[in-house]
């Protein structure tokens, strides 16, 4: 967006906890002493509270880009802004007192949740039914020239990428460990786990954190990409993997079924027997055809340019 607007970045610190107060003060003085047309916040929460306060008091323009955790509450795994009283309050205040909200998928507005029977419906409008702030859907976008297969596929290889160990429960790693026992001739690769905490098995290979630029090698070698999340927004790793011709196997959550379409497999319920059946289907499928379809799904529907153009038009419209 820097080619359209002059941008001044501000990084809000959540950890250690005392830095939250420091960040509040820093952003308060920054907004008080600078001339700006709009504040754009990536995710709602503590970082968006002071900009929302300025919108409430002085009608300063604020755009919040919601991404997932700020639209959710899953007590089962202690996940989501609305699962915490104070953070939920700050999130609710921010959404109510902003010029506009964008979401990466319609499911973040409201999602009739069916994947796990212990989890209720999700989405901004579920937690704030009285919300009147306008909401616009702008999907994530990806560069097909950056993500493409550069190595031959390793037969019957399944890949899962974590964004950090805090996502272990949410990403369904327990399901992968369970199902791997039934497929001894397959290799399950998990990136982002600590080997001192999670032990490798004969057919489970663990990597620690890998820098984003180096993931293309890992994506390229995997035949399948497993994303068995309890909650998501619009997962980047899934889309990057599909551009690298990984066949997706995903849970029936948020944007993922829409992203996958007819290029992969959807796990309707969080059930081990269903997952075993789905993996058997995947192994017997026309893998070369589905791999090409997976790349085409992202290349045709979720280009980086689409998101850039939509955001540029939205921000210009709000500012002007």
| CATH code for position 50 | 3.40.50.2000
Query: Are residues 161 and 290 located together in one domain of the fold?
Result: yes
Q: Give the pLDDT of residue 3.
A: 61
Q: Give the pLDDT of residue 212.
A: 85
- Residues 29, 55: Cα–Cα separation, whole Å: 15
Q: Give the pLDDT of residue 2.
A: 55
Strands 100-103 and 62-66, how do they pair? parallel
Q: Which residue, among 97, 90, 113, has the nearest Cα to 44 in the 3D structure?
A: 90
Q: Give the pLDDT of residue 226.
A: 98
Q: What is the pTM of this model?
A: 0.93
Q: Give the pLDDT of residue 83.
A: 96
Q: Give the pLDDT of residue 318.
A: 94
Query: Are residues 274 and 196 located together in one domain of the fold?
Result: yes
User: If 0-12 CB within 10 Å is exposed, 13-18 middle and 19+ buried, where does residue 76 land?
Assistant: middle
- Residues 13, 45: Cα–Cα separation, whole Å: 12
Examine residue 13 and state whether it is found in any structural domain, yes or no. no
Domain count, the chain: 2
Q: Give the pLDDT of residue 1.
A: 55
Q: Give the pLDDT of residue 297.
A: 98
Q: Which residue, among 280, 256, 296, has the nearest Cα to 172 in the 3D structure?
A: 256
Examine residue 243 and state whether it is found in any structural domain, yes or no. yes
Using an 8 Å Cβ cutoff, are 63 and 38 in contact? yes
Q: Over the chain (320 residues), what is each successive 10-residue block's mean pLDDT?
A: 74 79 88 88 96 95 96 95 97 98 98 96 98 98 97 97 81 95 97 82 91 92 97 96 98 97 98 98 98 98 96 93
Q: Give the pLDDT of residue 95.
A: 98
Query: What is the domain extent for residue 117?
Result: 18-141+304-319
Examine residue 1 and state whether it is found in any structural domain, yes or no. no
- Residues 235, 232: Cα–Cα separation, whole Å: 6
Q: Give the pLDDT of residue 180.
A: 97
Examine residue 62 and state whether it is found in any structural domain, yes or no. yes
């Amino acid at each position: 967006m820097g080619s359209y607007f002059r941008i001044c970045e501000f990084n809000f610190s959540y950890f250690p906890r005392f830095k939250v107060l420091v960040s509040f003060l820093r952003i308060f003085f920054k907004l008080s002493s600078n001339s700006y047309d709009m504040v754009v916040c990536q995710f709602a929460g503590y970082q968006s509270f002071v900009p929302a306060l300025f919108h409430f008091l002085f009608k300063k323009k604020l755009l919040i880009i919601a991404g997932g955790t700020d639209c959710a509450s899953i007590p089962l795994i202690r996940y989501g802004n609305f699962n915490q009283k104070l953070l939920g309050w700050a999130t609710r205040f921010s959404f109510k007192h902003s010029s506009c909200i964008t979401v990466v998928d319609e499911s973040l507005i409201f999602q009739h949740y069916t994947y796990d029977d212990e989890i209720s419906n999700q989405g901004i409008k579920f937690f704030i039914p009285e919300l009147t702030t306008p909401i616009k859907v702008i999907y994530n976008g990806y560069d097909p020239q950056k993500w493409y297969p550069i190595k031959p596929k390793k037969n019957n290889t399944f890949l899962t990428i974590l964004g950090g160990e805090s996502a272990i429960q949410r990403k369904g790693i327990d399901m992968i460990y369970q199902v791997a026992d039934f497929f001894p001739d397959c290799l399950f690769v998990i990136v982002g786990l600590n080997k001192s905490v999670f032990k490798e098995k004969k057919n489970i290979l663990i990597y620690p954190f890998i820098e984003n630029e180096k993931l293309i090698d890992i994506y390229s070698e995997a035949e399948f990409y497993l994303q068995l999340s309890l909650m998501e927004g619009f997962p980047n790793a899934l889309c990057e993997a599909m551009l690298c011709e990984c066949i997706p196997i995903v849970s029936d959550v948020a944007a993922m079924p829409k992203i996958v379409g007819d290029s992969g497999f959807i796990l309707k319920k969080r059930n081990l027997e269903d997952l075993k059946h789905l993996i058997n289907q995947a192994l017997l499928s026309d893998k070369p055809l589905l791999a090409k379809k997976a790349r085409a799904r992202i290349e045709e529907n979720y280009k980086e340019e689409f998101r850039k153009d939509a955001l540029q038009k939205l921000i210009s419209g709000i500012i002007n």
